[in-house]
Amino acid sequence: MKSALMKFLWWFEHRLELRKTIWPVMRHPIPRDLRTQVGWLYVFGSTAMTLFVLQIITGIGLGMVYVPSAGEAYESLEHINYEVELGWMLRAIHNWSANGMVVLVVVHMTQVFLMGAYKYPRELTWIIGVLLLLLTVGMAFTGQVLRWDADSYWGLGVGVAMIGRIPWIGPQLVELLMGGPTMGADTLSRFFALHVFIIPGILFVALGIHLYLVVRKGISEPPVPSEPVDPATYVEKYEEKLKTGDPFFPDVFLRDAVFIGLTLLVVVGLSAILGPKGPSAPPDPTLMQVEPLPDWYFLPLFAVLALSPPSLETAIILIAPVIIVAALFLVPIFSGKGQRSPRRRPVAVLAVILFLLCYCVLWQLGVQEPWSPHMSAWSGEPVPESMIKGRSPKQLQGAAILQEKTCRNCHALDGRGGQRGPDLTDVATRLTRDQLVRQVIQGGGNMPAYGKEMNRDEVDALVSFLETLKPDGYAAAESSVVTDRSD
Summarize as ranges the residues that interact with another protein (CB under 8 A): 78, 81-82, 85-86, 88-89, 92, 149, 271-276, 279-282, 287, 289, 376-383, 385, 388-389, 391-394, 396-405, 408, 455-458, 460-461, 464-465
Minimum gap (Å) between residue 390 Cβ and another protein: 8
Decide whether 95 or 263 has the Cβ nearer to another protein.
95
| DSSP string across 71-109 | TTHHHHHHHHHHTSTTHHHHHHHHHHHHHHHHHHHHHHH
Quote the distance between the C-alpha of residue 84 and its chain's center.
29
**What does the alpha-carbon distance between residue 332 and residue 343 come to, in Å, rounded to a whole number?**
18
Minimum gap (Å) between residue 462 Cβ and another protein: 8
Decide whether 231 or 269 has the Cβ nearer to another protein.
269
CB neighbourhood size of 380 (10 A): 12
At a CB cut-off of 8 Å and minimum separation 6, what does 36 contact? 222
Decide whether 370 or 398 has the Cβ nearer to another protein.
398
Minimum gap (Å) between residue 464 Cβ and another protein: 6
**What does the alpha-carbon distance between residue 309 and residue 297 come to, in Å, rounded to a whole number?**
22
Quote the distance between the C-alpha of residue 303 and its chain's center.
12
Decide whether 335 or 397 has the Cβ nearer to another protein.
397
**What does the alpha-carbon distance between residue 381 and residue 404 come to, in Å, rounded to a whole number?**
12
Decide whether 337 or 433 has the Cβ nearer to another protein.
433
Minimum gap (Å) between residue 438 Cβ and another protein: 17
Asked if residues 341 and 223 have their Cβ atoms less than 8 Å apart, the reply is: yes
**What does the alpha-carbon distance between residue 85 and residue 264 come to, in Å, rounded to a whole number?**
21
CB neighbourhood size of 50 (10 A): 22
Minimum gap (Å) between residue 288 Cβ and another protein: 9
Whether omega before 393 lies within 30 degrees of 0, making that bond cis, reads no
Decide whether 140 or 399 has the Cβ nearer to another protein.
399
The CB-side HSE value for 205 (13 A sphere, CA atoms) comes to 6
Decide whether 92 or 101 has the Cβ nearer to another protein.
92
Minimum gap (Å) between residue 255 Cβ and another protein: 30
Integer-rounded Cα Rg, in Å, for the chain is 30
Which residue type is seen at 366?
G
Decide whether 109 or 150 has the Cβ nearer to another protein.
150
Angle between helices 123-146 and 185-193 in degrees, nearest 10: 150
Q: Select from 76, 201, 47, 90 the least CA-distant residue to 138.
A: 201
CA distances to 268, 280, 376 from 259, in Å = 14, 33, 44
Minimum gap (Å) between residue 356 Cβ and another protein: 29
Decide whether 80 or 304 has the Cβ nearer to another protein.
80
Minimum gap (Å) between residue 30 Cβ and another protein: 38
**What does the alpha-carbon distance between residue 487 and residue 476 come to, in Å, rounded to a whole number?**
23
Minimum gap (Å) between residue 76 Cβ and another protein: 14
Quote the distance between the C-alpha of residue 314 and its chain's center.
22
Minimum gap (Å) between residue 4 Cβ and another protein: 18
Decide whether 47 or 464 has the Cβ nearer to another protein.
464
